[in-house]
Structure 1
């Protein structure tokens, strides 16, 4: 028998990918099914409060179709970007991230349809447009839960969470963290009611308390974007203040999409945004733990 020479063995061995080249991720059916199962579990865990909230059922009936479509349009790029940080399976390139995002949307739709059907919220007795509206409104939150299934439910594929994240990536994760906690309460009428009952000084106090809480949590979590800051003042300027601006923008956008800003003045709408920014700010500050 011929023995392989060291040179031929070296030539036949797999060569490591060059720096900057995408690493191929072998497709394993079992791993994919496990990831898919985690995706269904994540979708159900994250969207269950909204599936059992009456405001979400009514929003699907009277919410403007343009806003529903816009909500879905905004969801896709967020899921694609999030797949780089916490998809339910490892992906090698943009095509894999897009595929993961589409799978997450399908998983969310199936989970919502099955759950709402069991609850008797959707069924053959209602019009097709009403049923679709109720289902579509559940897709963004369910898809987000499916995409976060890996970091939320664990698994061997969590190794990507240890990779370095850019400063822009950290700010993006803060925005997703804000969505993670604020999306469940944004459709409710309590956000506007609380804002209506608060005085200007109470709103300013809530804003300051949100900033203080975010700052303490951001510094405690020790975000890894760029060079770590040695002082809390650095974290304040680098993460807390920009993070709160992102949280407030996310809060106002979500409130507008759900129609909670309709008929309100600019001051009243901003007050509702400050109220919603409180849970959103906590989610943004803890994005590194949540995601």
Structure 2
């Protein structure tokens, strides 16, 4: 009986890890397109036949990807398993898209059903592809344990810890700049900031922190075990997530000022709302940057 209970716990743990990996991959691939108002407009006005074609094409691509990779550690052998995982992939893509569009107040209780479905289906395409590709491009690499043991055996541990902290901050800033650079000069940021109230901005902040933590520490992507063993000024998972988010916010604010989206004459509330809106993609980019080192 204890063996069966432990087996069930392991199954649930593996399932949860697969789901977190898929959702994290969806955000890494899909978050930039969520800041494109043209996609909102096209989706909201699309007719049911076009929406059906979009779903069918996305499912076909996801099905082919799940034959070789997918978001699970195991590769599907039977067509039935691939089909079920493909349905789950589309569901995860729709779930991620729904959460973000609700946070952005692009979908509310007053949004017509057809408009909401159109936005969700069109925006969920890159999210679903990101879920399907998460295990292929971002899976944990073997040898992390050996590398971490070698790192701990090196001399001058304090200097090494400081270098690791600086490298993480630099990687976060670089990744945040790469993603935020193409979004900061667009009209989507002021539009979203104008329609998002204080409680939703707080929810967006919490979501950004959770996504960053999931990508780096919970999704079993590359070097995750090595990152958990790092020690330094901000090297435990909680403090690293918070500090990296603050770095991403600084990057977002700098990009907004650089492109003159906000100016020094604007009130602090404008700076705050715009920065938090751009902070989500900057945070995702920063998490991707930390995965790369």
Larger radius of gyration: 1
Query: Comparing both structures, which one devotes a greater share of its residues to helix?
Result: 2
TM-score, scaled relative to structure 2: 0.43
Higher relative contact order (CA 8 A, sep 6+): 2
TM-score, scaled relative to structure 1: 0.43
